[in-house]
Structure 1
Amino acid sequence: MSRLAGKRALVTGGSRGIGAAIARRLAAEGADVALTYERSADKAAAVVREVEALGRKGFAIAADSADPGAMTRAVDDAVKALGGLDILVNNAGIFRGGPVADWSLADIDATLAVNVRAVVLASQAAAAHLGEGGRIISTGSCLADRVVEPNVTLYAMSKAALIGFTKGLARDLGPRGITVNIVHPGSTDTDMNPAHGERADAQRARMAIPRYGKPEDIAGLVAYLASEEARFITGAGFAIDGGVNT
């Protein structure tokens, strides 16, 4: 596969789970890939080695998505390491659950900082470098469209905010030939929500296809949206959730 030959991508939160799968898939399709990580330096280095084994450039950037300055620096570092930027994948995210009465101010601030502000700042910084054919793709959640259980409100709110941001930014950047889209994963087998976890059976019961997705499923959709084949798609959201929201 070489749909992304010559492209340069930055994947935030790319050291594990969905982010790591996206980094590997973009590289497999021909892109050079930089990725950010917060604490998992060893895992980030392993993903970089996989990218390089595919014959592409790989680069890991330590960046806390809750730090606004770190996101801008990460984009600048990626541009320097790769010689430019064509694709930004906003994947880093956190989950803080629980009843509304139990939310702390720290929970609210952290959720908004990582799941919303970091996406805005990284996209703003990347937009200065993207040219015709540029791509911004964010990882949302099926909970942004339909909240199917209690105690996930804070997370759902943060991911729903990205829908409006995606639609607005698509309008802003469309005249420059840059597309902006969002993918909405459902239950995906990662360490954040393992397929063998205590909540897994309840989640499977809500799906039309009663099994967890794989990170590679999400990565395939992201790779498509990053490609030239998706040049006429922008401001759109894509559910990839096993039919939980049907």
Structure 2
Amino acid sequence: MSILDGVHRILFCHAHPDDETLATGALIAHLVGRGIACDLVTASRGEMGEVVPGPLAHLAGDGLEEHRTGELAGALDVLGVDRHAWLGTAPARAEGLPARRYRDSGMEWIRPGLAGPADANDERSFTWAPLAEPVADLVALVRAWQPDLMVSYDAGGGYGHPDHVRMHEVARAAAERAQVPCAEIRHEPGEGVEWFDLPETLPVVAEALRHHATQLTVQPNGTEVVHSGGQREEIVTAVGLAG
């Protein structure tokens, strides 16, 4: 029995542009190839992200928000994502509320591979908003788009980014309210995890990642990326889902 049995449309819930490709690009490409429609909601536009040194470095700060919006659109076109929404903007906005742009909350590295909250915060940020507000926004989107399954981070947000943790909380609460199954992303096989090993998706994922050029650089070997902070990482082509 698979978590995908009877599933025809999935809503992926991510925090920033590039998360959808880094964490779940291989799975999205695989699902689209199987005829399962994939939609995406993104919480923020990644305003606090560092920028890769080089010709795009001038975008750090002013200009990064809109540029990353374009990067995301290019990546989603490659992956075959059907629809995209920004949390806080219709149709992902609770009825009767004016549109809101949830901002990137930022992060600091606690140790290699584990992030935590940044010292400074902004009342416009995703983690600053009372939980009920983004939950109501996501419920509105779920009711509009009618997914059969929602997918988001585990309780630790994958590597601890506060926006990832918050999106986990928002997705879980919205799924419960809307009575839609919700699966968590897993990075290692284990009990209760349905594992997808998808090496054949590597060329598509690499092509999608090239659109996120402010945040990372796909290496000439086509199997690794170097992030804006200098971290080198294998492109992920295996991912698990746990209900």
State the TM-score, normalized to the length of structure 2. 0.44
Higher strand fraction (1 or 2): 2
Higher helix fraction (1 or 2): 1
